[in-house]
């Protein structure tokens, strides 16, 4: 009896807490979020000192005698503190991914609900457009959009959001197709509720579980793709401390033995993406045990 009074969120959290990987992933995500929020307070150094401290360029970190004090992960080719840049980079990667996924969700929910709820020609036109967009590898389409819009972090976010839209829309559409046949929708129609009311009060809330799961997994790919665009020089522009762009600038120096500047930003990407992937897996198992892998 007690359990029935649990809210959905509470029940979800309880189920998640049984899953060790999910707890671990939430811890990673929490750390990244804290880094993003508290960056100015926890970063040991200025991520973009001006004027640049070139005399400190490519100094190793705590593991070596040659390191500079106060730069635990060493410095990059412009003498900037790698750790501080990674901490500030959390802000950029998280913001970019959140904006991109928000765009995909907003557009995806709009198109997906319209297509799924109304059916008919709306739906078939929509499905053709989705087919066309799926003919492009996601990153390539994002690159093409950036080629049109021009380089920059803001444009990269928009491009990734657009590229993810058909995927999100299709997930919502299939979920709506299922919900629309439910009895409570029929009941709503019978008592004369408007389409608008049925869509906003019943269809959308009941189609949300897959959106939450795929939204989380999408955060992971958005962080990866955003870093990829940054790495290609099409996303965040220097001197922005974006993880992908940091790698692009520093990997040529590995030949000179300066491995740290090209290693740690990648570990930051890997762990953050891993966090969101594990969280997505965990949410899927908790929300819908039938889909359990």
Partner 1 sequence: MLLPVLLGVSIIAFSLIHLAPGDPARAIAGEHASPQVIHAIEEKYGLDKPLYIQYGIWLKQILHGDFGRSIISHEYVTTEIWDRFPNTFELTILALIFAILIGLPAGIVSASKQYSVLDYASMGIAIFGISIPVFWLGIMLMMIFGVFLGWLPIAGRIDVLCSLDRITGFMVLDSIITGNFAALSSVLRHLILPAIALGTIPMAQIARVTRSSMLEVLRQDFIRTERAKGLSERMVIYKHAVRNAMIPVVTVIGLNFGLLLAGAILTETVFAWPGVGRYVIQGVYARDYPVVQGCVMFFALVFVIVNLITDIIYTYIDPRIHYA
Interaction mask 90-129, partner 1, x per CB under 8 A: --------------------------------------xx
Sign of CA dihedral 174, 177, 183, 184: positive
Is residue 219 a contact residue for partner 1 (CB under 8 A)? Answer: no
Is residue 86 a contact residue for partner 1 (CB under 8 A)? Answer: no
Question: What is the H or E stretch that residue 139 is in?
Answer: helix 138-149
Q: Output 203 or 224, the one with its CB closest to partner 1.
A: 224
Beta bridge partners, 75, equal 81
Structure tokens at 184: 């409570």
Least distance to partner 1 from the beta carbon of 78, Å? 19
Is residue 274 a contact residue for partner 1 (CB under 8 A)? Answer: yes
Asked whether 75 and 138 are in contact (CB, 8 A), the reply is no
Of 22, 43, 146, 171, which lies in the binding site for partner 1, with binding defined by CB under 8 A?
Answer: 146
Asked whether 260 and 83 are in contact (CB, 8 A), the reply is no
Least distance to partner 1 from the beta carbon of 278, Å? 6
Phi first, then psi: what are they for 265, rounded to 5°? -60, -35
Is residue 193 a contact residue for partner 1 (CB under 8 A)? Answer: no
Q: Distance of CA 253 to CAs 77, 243, 262, Å?
A: 8, 16, 8
Of 107, 144, 86, residue with least CA distance to 218:
107
Is residue 144 a contact residue for partner 1 (CB under 8 A)? Answer: yes
Binding-site ranges for partner 1 (CB under 8 A): 21, 128-129, 131-132, 135-140, 143-144, 146-148, 150, 220, 224, 227-228, 231-234, 244, 247, 251, 254-255, 257, 259, 262-263, 265-266, 269-270, 273-274, 277-278, 281, 293
């Amino acid at each position: 009896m007690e359990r029935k009074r649990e809210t959905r969120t509470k029940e979800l959290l309880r189920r998640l807490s049984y899953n060790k990987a999910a707890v671990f992933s939430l811890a990673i995500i929490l750390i990244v979020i804290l880094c993003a929020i508290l960056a100015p307070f926890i970063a040991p150094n200025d991520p973009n000192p001006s004027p640049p401290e070139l005399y400190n360029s490519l100094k190793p970190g705590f593991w070596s005698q040659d390191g500079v004090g106060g730069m635990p992960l060493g410095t990059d080719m412009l003498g900037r503190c790698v750790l501080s840049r990674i901490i500030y980079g959390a802000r950029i990667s998280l913001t970019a991914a959140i904006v991109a996924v928000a765009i995909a969700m907003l557009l995806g929910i709009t198109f997906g609900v319209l297509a799924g709820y109304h059916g008919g020609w709306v739906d078939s036109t929509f499905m053709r457009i989705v087919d066309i967009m799926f003919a492009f590898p996601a990153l390539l389409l994002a690159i093409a959009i950036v080629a049109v819009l021009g380089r920059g972090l803001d444009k990269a976010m928009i491009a990734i959001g657009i590229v993810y839209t058909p995927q999100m829309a299709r997930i919502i559409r299939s979920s709506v197709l299922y919900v629309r046949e439910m009895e409570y929708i029929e009941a709503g129609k019978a008592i004369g509720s408007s389409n608008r009311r049925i869509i906003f009060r019943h269809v959308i809330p009941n189609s949300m579980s897959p959106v939450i799961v795929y939204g989380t997994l999408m955060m992971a790919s958005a962080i990866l793709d955003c870093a990829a665009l940054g790495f290609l020089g099409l996303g965040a522009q220097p001197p922005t401390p974006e993880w992908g762009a940091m790698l692009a600038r520093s990997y040529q120096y590995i030949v000179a033995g300066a491995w740290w500047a090209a290693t740690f930003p990648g570990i930051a990407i890997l762990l953050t993406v891993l966090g969101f992937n594990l969280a997505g897996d965990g949410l899927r198992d908790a929300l819908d045990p039938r889909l359990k892998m």
